[in-house]
Amino acid sequence: MLRSAANPTSRFLATEVEWDIPPPPAHLQVFEDDSRGILSRNDSPDLYHRWSVNPYRGCTHACTYCYARPSHEYLAFGSGTDFESRIVVKPRAAELLEEAFEARSWEGETILYSGNVDCYQPLEHRYRLTRACLAVCVRYRNPVALITKSTLIERDLDLLQQLHEVARVRVLLSIPFWDPATSRAIEPGAPLPARRLRTVAALARAGISVGVNVAPVIPGLNDRDIPRVLEAARDAGATRAGMILVRLPPTVAPYFESTLRDRLPTRADGVLARVRRMHRGALYSPRFGERMKGSGPEWEAIEQLFQLTTTRLGLARRPADAGEVQPEPSTTFRRPSDGRQVGLF
């Protein structure tokens, strides 16, 4: 169902639109990006991979809490319904990735798909940009990690298996909710949790290393779901798990709050109060080392619940901070041209 266009005030624009009548519905619009590069370098000490590929900008999964929403403002779009309905695609993604791999400076580090928005959002059905990029990684034997909420990843099991044979590939399914009604209210464009768990099982049967991210944890909405999600994920074949507190940067917080009050009005005040208690009275802490987790007794109780459950189930825990990240093993990366005889003419 179409919703009225609504965007928080952008920090990059000097003006904003105020509607005297109800704003128009937010229709899907697709734009092409003519970027000259596809690899994004991550300098944050909170992130596990230095390099990521984002074939899309904006996401029709429309998760109300998405920390990537402010990135849409760099395009002069809004971080509200614009983020969900004005999607930018990078049609040359695979070509640009191949160019990056051919550069002598590239050393074959793991690439994360995607550090910003979901690389398997519904438009991937049509554009197949993620699949094309994975095919490049297979050809160059470059290690890959993927994070997604989408069941569309099952389409690419053939490429993931090929990559598994020649390099390293790991997948994380983001499953923050157990209750389907709450999931639909907060992640309206994403597959329901039970369907995502079937994707975990499909990946595990195919021999792909798969884990689950209970991310984000939204206290008062899904913290009690943690044991159920982890138990179901383990039964489906997941071998590791991660957890991150909801991140609500300044232009995400008002959109999250407004949609929460609209769709789950009886729970909104309690959720927002608990988030504030975990961030010393604020809805968000931008500091490295703090922005993905909370503080105080309530957050400690959530962490303990997660740790006890993963230990009981035998699930490996993803690193909680950059200090726990282990160095990457030797890369499997090889250029197809390496080893070929060079012609005389």
| Domains identified in the chain, total number | 1
Contact between 215 and 242 under an 8 Å Cβ cutoff? The reply is yes
Rounded Cα gap, residues 232 and 194, in angstroms: 9
Tens digit of each residue's pLDDT, the chain (345 residues)? 446 667 766 665 555 556 555 555 668 899 999 888 999 888 776 767 789 999 999 999 999 999 999 999 888 898 888 999 999 999 999 999 999 999 999 999 999 998 889 999 999 999 999 999 999 999 999 999 999 999 999 999 999 999 999 999 999 999 999 999 999 999 999 999 999 999 999 999 999 999 999 999 999 999 999 999 999 999 999 999 999 999 999 989 999 999 999 999 999 999 999 999 999 888 888 777 777 888 999 999 999 999 999 999 999 986 543 334 455 667 899 999 775 544 433
pLDDT at 76: 86
pLDDT of residue 331: 85
Whether 72 is in a domain gets the answer: yes
Per the domain annotation, does 22 fall within a domain?
Answer: no
Residues of the domain holding 274: 29-320
Decide if 134 is inside a domain: yes
Angle at 6 between CA 20 and CA 35, to 5 degrees: 130
Name the residue among 112, 31, 117, 37 with its Cα closest to residue 70: 117
Q: Which of 126, 170, 177, 176 is nearest to 152 (CA)?
A: 126
Q: Going by DSSP bridges, is the β-strand pair 51-53/111-113 parallel, antiparallel, or unpaired?
A: parallel
Domain CATH number, residue 164: 3.20.20.70
Does 331 fall in a domain? no
Contact 279, 272 (CB under 8 A): no
Note the pTM of the prediction, 2 decimals. Answer: 0.88
Question: Residue 345 domain-assigned?
Answer: no
Do the domain assignments include residue 335? no
Q: What is the pLDDT of residue 93?
A: 96
Query: Is there a domain that residue 109 lies in?
Result: yes
Radius of gyration of the chain (CA): 20
343 belongs to a structural domain: no
How far is it, in rounded angstroms, from Cα 20 to Cα 79?
21
